[in-house]
Amino acid sequence: MSGVWGKNIQYSIFGESHGKAIGINMSGLPSGIPLDLEFIKSEMARRAPGKDELSTPRAEKDEFEIISGYFNGYTTGTPLCALIWNSNKLSKDYDKLKTVMRPGHADYTGYLKYSGFNDYRGGGHFSGRLTAPLVFAGAIAKQFLNEKGIIIGSHICQIGTIKDTLFDAVNLCSEQLNELHKSNFPVIAAEKAAAMKELILNAKEDRDSIGGVVEAAIINLPPKLGSPFFDSIESQLAHLLFSIPGIKGVEFGAGFEISKMRGSEANDQLYIDKGIVKTYTNNSGGILGGITNGMPVIFRAAFKPTSSIGKPQNTVDIEANDNVEIQVTGRHDPCIVQRALPVVEAAAAMAIFDIMKGQIQ
């Protein structure tokens, strides 16, 4: 089990969906960082379930308890550990799934990897519930980055086939990111929200689910961050992003669309503005050679439809060694995209925090 990531800041995640608690341990934090607990709570609330009809009715407040590494309002420099208690559990819903493998879930691969000893309730350690500790860590990382003027934001780029307007990759400003942060359903083109919500509710009514895309941005990053080959900015961001359950694709800048361009279109031509080198376009997403160039870092993450659906599906019973039909019950999101925004932002903040901590030592 690989539960640790990071070189300069080490993040160690632990817990299962229906265990007593989940949490994260952060080693390498500088001492003397003031923590805004209200900001952390607000970030946790953005991800928390049970808020409206678009998400799972499992109501978890995602209240955290810091048990080490924090004293008198500041980080102490020792490992900071936080617990998030699981209070709303219906483990009996999963009793019959001990040997019946749910399609789209890690039930089968987890059973093989851990010889059937894994906690299967609610997906156990594979559950999206484990993204709550990431949001906690990301909120701390954001505070460090915000002090340096670095802002991370996101919006719902796509639900099913309905697409929002993309970020202006050249002239993106903090005001827009801050406004999106305040929204419960952040989109740039306001008229798209109703259609997206209708699509989610239609999937829910049909006992089905739907996927989508989150577009995120990091602005005011200094140039020179990142190192080729294996420590490129893309490599480190993608590593954490692909650790988020449900993400099946990540692209930077123009992404896959760049493959349709000629070099004369794809290349971001440079110019000097008041002594600062900038580019007219930002097809590279603010990264060249794995190193930031000072332009906004833009990326998109594609989420698959929620695997737990009420429709009958074909699967296998491992114990009986037989083909069976399954109809998943319980409390599940018809779409995880709207709750995934703070998770994507957190992963980006954690990665950039780790990179910058290494370069300022």
For 27-70, the pLDDT digits (tens) are: 999 999 999 999 999 999 999 876 677 876 656 678 999 999 99
Indicate the range of 94-98, 130-134, 174-178, 345-349 predicted with least confidence: 94-98
209 carries a ligand binding annotation: no
Q: What's residue 332's pLDDT? A: 83
128: tokens are 């999206």
289 carries a ligand binding annotation: yes
306 carries a ligand binding annotation: yes
Q: What's residue 292's pLDDT? A: 98
Q: What's residue 48's pLDDT? A: 87
Contact 28, 128 (CB under 8 A): no
174 carries a ligand binding annotation: no
106: tokens are 């890690």
Q: Which of 271, 227, 279 is nearest to 254 (CA)?
A: 279
> Across-strand partners of 223?
none
252 carries a ligand binding annotation: no
Q: Which of 296, 144, 122, 291 is nearest to 216 (CA)?
A: 296
Q: For tokens 């341990």, what's the residue?
A: 25
CB atoms closer than 10 angstroms to residue 175: 9
Q: What's residue 98's pLDDT? A: 84
Contact 256, 289 (CB under 8 A): no
308 carries a ligand binding annotation: yes
The three-point CA angle 174-177-180 to 5° equals 150
Chosen CATH of 4-351 out of 3.60.150.10, 3.30.300.30, 3.60.130.10, 3.90.76.10 = 3.60.150.10
DSSP 3-state of 79: coil
Q: Cα separation of 152 and 286, whole Å? A: 14
2: tokens are 């690989």
Question: How confident is the model over 266-282, as pLDDT tens digits?
Answer: 999 999 999 999 999 99
280: tokens are 């007219």
Q: For tokens 């109501």, what's the residue?
A: 59
DSSP 3-state of 41: helix
331 carries a ligand binding annotation: yes
pLDDT beyond 90 at 97? no
pLDDT beyond 90 at 74? yes
Q: What's residue 123's pLDDT? A: 79
153 carries a ligand binding annotation: no
pLDDT beyond 60 at 91? no
Strands 162-163 and 151-159, by their bridges, are: antiparallel
pLDDT beyond 60 at 229? yes
307 carries a ligand binding annotation: yes
Mean pLDDT across the stretch 253-259? 98
Q: What's residue 120's pLDDT? A: 83
113: tokens are 């990897």
Indicate the range of 97-106, 123-132, 280-289, 309-318 predicted with least confidence: 123-132
